[in-house]
Amino acid sequence: MEKAHSKHNWKSNTLPALVTVGPLTLILVLLVAIPLIYVVVMSFCSIDQYYNVEFKFTLDNYKRLISPDYMKIYGQSLLIALVTTLLCILIGYPFAYIIARTKSKKKRLLYMLVIIPFWTNSLIRIYGWRTFLGNNGWLNSILQTLHITNEPITFLYKQGTTVLGMVYCLLPFMIFPLYTALEKLDGSLLEASSDLGAKPLVTLREIIIPLTSGGIFSGSIMVFIPCLGYFFVSDILGGGNSDVIGNLIERQFQSGNNWPLGAALSIILIAVTLILVRIYKKMGGDMESLGV
């Protein structure tokens, strides 16, 4: 077939290739490649006294990036992302296992029930948490009526609340790939394992987890990376006291008025993403499963 193609003239090969891939190439080059290159260029620029970007080469932005204060926020942000990812695995794995392996006819419905919350605006759901957890919120009212506590407990505006919001927003991204992986799992393998006398935990460790590791990896990537950028979650629930890297970038593009510094901060996120994707691929992860 390849040969047949090469024999064909321009019209039968190049033209259809151009028609099919052309628009895609245009979009990807103009709206992905060039903007990202421009961000890299901008990260080496400076600003004048009126906050305008000046195309004068400087390393100042990067010097500011490695200051201990910024380092602390990166650390905090990575920690929030890590805890969120672990919690998502801890909750998402058994959950996906149960609904993927249920013999119930409601299986599809159970799966749909995870997607439905997605179709309600995510900001308003996050705000719902704020109403629920507030000092005069639902949870405190319940606790006080049950006399579990007399004074309202402050749940809001802590790092833990930010983590809660992140887990809430990103849990489905962990569940979907795990569900796909677990559904493919061959039931007879599990039976064989238990027939041979393996304890459930051993079966889990030796068979189930290794066979679904692909799902765990892609789920982790889909949770960890967005977590670094979801500035609105920490804005609404963290009360601005548990910033992630996304907040730093957003601030420089809004009130900070320092786009080059914001661009340099974005480079950190790009670098982290590249490293993680590299590791993911090395461990045999499939890029396509991140998007389906």
Partner 1 sequence: MKRQRKAKCKKGISIIFVTLVYLFLFLPISVVVVNSTNATTTKPYLSWKGFTFDWYIKLFENDELLGAFGNTMIIAIVSTILATAIGTLGAIGMYKYKFKGKGIIDALAYIPVVIPEIVLGISLLTIFAKVNIPRGMLTLILAHVTFSVPFVIFNVRARLAGYDNSIEEASMDLGANRIVTFFEITLPVLAPGIAGGALLAFTLSIDDIIISYFVYGQTKTYPLKVMESIKSGVAPDVNALSTLILIATIGLVILTQSGLFKKKKEN
Partner 2 sequence: MRKNVKKKIVALFSAAALIASFCTGCGSKKENASGEEINVFVWTEYVSQEAIDAFEKESGITVNVSTFSSNEDMLSKLKSESEGTYDIVLPSDYMVEQMISQGMLEELKKDELTNLGNIGEAYLNQNYDPGNVYTVPYQGGVAAIAVNTSLVDIDITGYDDLFKPELKGKIVSLDDYRAVIGMTARSMGYSMNETDKEKLAEIEEKLLKLKENVALYDSDSPKSALISGDAAVGFVWSAEIALAMEENPNIKIVYPREGAYVFLDNWGIPKGSKHYEAAMKFIDFMLGKDAAKMNIEEFPYLTANEAALSAMGEDYCNNIAKNPPSEAIEAGEFVSNLDTDTLAIYDEMWTKLKK
**What residue ranges bind partner 2 (CB under 8 A)?**
47-52, 64, 67, 69-70, 72-73, 76, 134-137, 152, 154, 156-157, 239-241, 243, 247-248, 253-258
Binding to partner 1 (CB under 8 A) within 175-214 occurs at: none
- Partner from partner 2, partner 1, none contacting 49, C-beta within 5 to 8 A by type: partner 2
168 binds partner 1, rule: CB under 8 A = yes
3-state secondary structure the chain: CHHHHHHCCHHHHHHHHHHHHHHHHHHHHHHHHHHHHHHHHHCCCEECCCCCEECCCCCHHHHHHCCHHHHHHHHHHHHHHHHHHHHHHHHHHHHHHHHHHCCCCCHHHHHHHHHHHHHCCHHHHHHHHHHHHCCCCHHHHHHHHCCCCCCCCCCCCCHHHHHHHHHHHHHHHHHHHHHHHHHHCCHHHHHHHHHCCCCHHHHHHHHHHHHHHHHHHHHHHHHHHHHHHCHHHHHHCCCCCCCCHHHHHHHHHCCCCCHHHHHHHHHHHHHHHHHHHHHHHHCCCCHHHHCC
Which residue's CB is nearer to partner 2, number 14 or number 52?
Answer: 52
Cβ-based nearer residue to partner 2, 152 or 226 = 152
Q: Restricting to residues 59-88, name those near partner 1 by CB under 8 A.
A: none
- Candidate segments 115-123, 181-189, 190-198, 203-211, binder of partner 1 by CB under 8 A: 115-123
Number of residues that bind partner 1 (CB under 8 A): 83
Verify binding: residue 42, partner 1, rule CB under 8 A.
Answer: yes
By C-beta, is 220 or 242 nearer to partner 2? Answer: 242
**Shortest reach from residue 232's CB to partner 1, in Å:** 6
Residue selected from 156, 177, 219, 250 as contacting partner 1 according to rule CB under 8 A:
250
